A and B are shown apart, each in its own frame.
Chain A
């Protein structure tokens, strides 16, 4: 019974995804107002030849800050999970 309900729900989600994929913009002609501005003006304002690096560190620097925080949290979590705490043997007499 649970498997039938799970299969029906999965079918509905995949049907919505396929409908969205067919109704999106035609592949190869995206709407691009903000990106035209960035391609035109990134050499004057930031002075880099690499537009992707200018977008990552200058126009959208907050996203890079959030990603650095996620990386730091993941490293802290992994090192903390494998730490060994030595117990002292106590004698209760």
Chain B
């Protein structure tokens, strides 16, 4: 059986760490406020270390294997990042300290702002957003504030292609804007005719992921942006797929007005089993005044003898604060470390090899798996996880069978516009040998699907647990140790 739960191994009287006795007089506790019971587990330090070490061993991770999740950019996370972010001068700095004591942090944040602006082709940038979706919310609020500042209050419509991540429509809905979906054309681009019909005086903007979630660079990107601008709208860039573009093209140059970066995808900060991320937002010159407060700026220019004095600045028409404090500083240090180790040429090499790896893998499997859009791809691609002559096999079965070959499956059932989608993003970190082995597994599974479909249907076989009863989980709702949530 699996690892016991903490509440099962708790023994009354154990404690994993002790603290010094008070070196001050003790004061009467406010008895009317003192709680009677605190039902937390009681464990020794070794209990805790063994428990979580064993749990960690039930995980698949980049450090243990190939993780080709589409749109997630599961590249190697360098170990030096983990060292630099923990330097005491960084890790022990309080967010509300006087800026005079924090010039190291502020100089680093300023430098990263400059680096990201240069990579994306933007005039202004905030490091505050905590994640990609939080960056989207920041960006869409900026678009909304821009129109309103011009008295253009009828613009309440956001266009979102049908291939977009779910966060795009969810974000727009949070800001009170109306979401209208735009179709993709037969080559996976934004359908220009559908777009044209929606380009009217109510258009606030378009949220565009480019390359899109099919892994395709929109062949009409200039025309799309031009149409939106001509109608008075702004173009939001979802930077989820920026890994394909580093040093290849700067989104700001083509006319994207605002874009979020994902430091946890493109710039190697670890995904941590779901977070933390970091979602800085870059903007064109006409949107700089709307950035959330605060941004890092120079408040006193330096000279040969004195470095400049950095501080926090609130832009004049700022949308306000997106969270407490200044952003995920620990992630900012990691991304700064990573970009500094690459330089301009190094970043371009990342994109080139990410795209080479994707096209190489695609070439190896495209005779075996159906490819809905047969073009050169960017950093990822989508194939169909089903065959006409094996209709009982689904993308899910292929995904689960890959686990038996010791690979993490690709993203599946996304994007929604591809039937039984398997979305594969190799990243630049992976070697030819790894890609060859992965392609071999996919090809073997295709053969199994036709001759021994049971192997797929019952998969996975070698993992610590098999397929789960998700209906039971949702019905019984056991969300805490030993407690079932029975709803009214």
Partners in one complex: no
